[in-house]
């Protein structure tokens, strides 16, 4: 089971990857939206903001998020680490229910290039 620190490092790497992206991925990552990433097996939520291709102002809160973010991820810690490391394909994980992504329809359409 991934630790809180490993999950935080994975989010930091994801932010770096988004910042270095180009083309359609860069455009999708340029959204300015609140973001939450619920780690089910650790019973914590990382909350922050996706802005200018970076995940910024990340804080960790126990349990479910206290407020509803515009983009919401929910998954196990090991799955977050595997996704960021390229060991787990997002579309397959989402289709199998291992990863849940919730957002408004227009945001989902823009985010599809990240998947």
The residue extents of the domains of the chain are: 4-114
Q: What DSSP state is assigned to residue 66?
A: S
Which homologous superfamily is 4-114 in? SCP2 sterol-binding domain (3.30.1050.10)
CA distance 95 to 64: 23
Phi, psi (degrees; rounded to nearest 5) at 34: -70, 150
pLDDT tens, N- to C-terminus, the chain (115 residues): 999 999 999 999 988 887 787 776 666 666 899 999 999 999 999 999 998 888 999 999 999 999 999 999 999 999 999 999 999 998 899 999 999 999 999 888 777 655 5
Query: Contact, 82 vs 75, CB < 8 A?
Result: no
CA distance 50 to 53: 7
Neighbours of 12 (CB within 10 A): 13
pLDDT at 24: 64
């Amino acid at each position: 089971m991934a630790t809180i620190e490993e999950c935080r490092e994975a989010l930091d790497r994801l932010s770096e990857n988004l910042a270095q992206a180009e083309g359609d991925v860069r455009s999708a990552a340029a959204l300015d939206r609140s973001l939450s990433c619920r780690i089910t097996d650790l019973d914590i939520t990382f909350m922050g903001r996706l802005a200018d291709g970076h995940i910024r102002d990340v804080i960790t809160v126990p349990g479910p998020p206290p407020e509803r973010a515009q983009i919401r991820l929910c998954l196990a810690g090991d799955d977050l680490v595997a996704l960021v490391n390229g060991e787990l394909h997002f579309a397959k994980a989402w289709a199998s229910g291992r990863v849940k992504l919730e957002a408004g329809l227009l945001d989902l359409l823009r985010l599809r290039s990240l998947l």
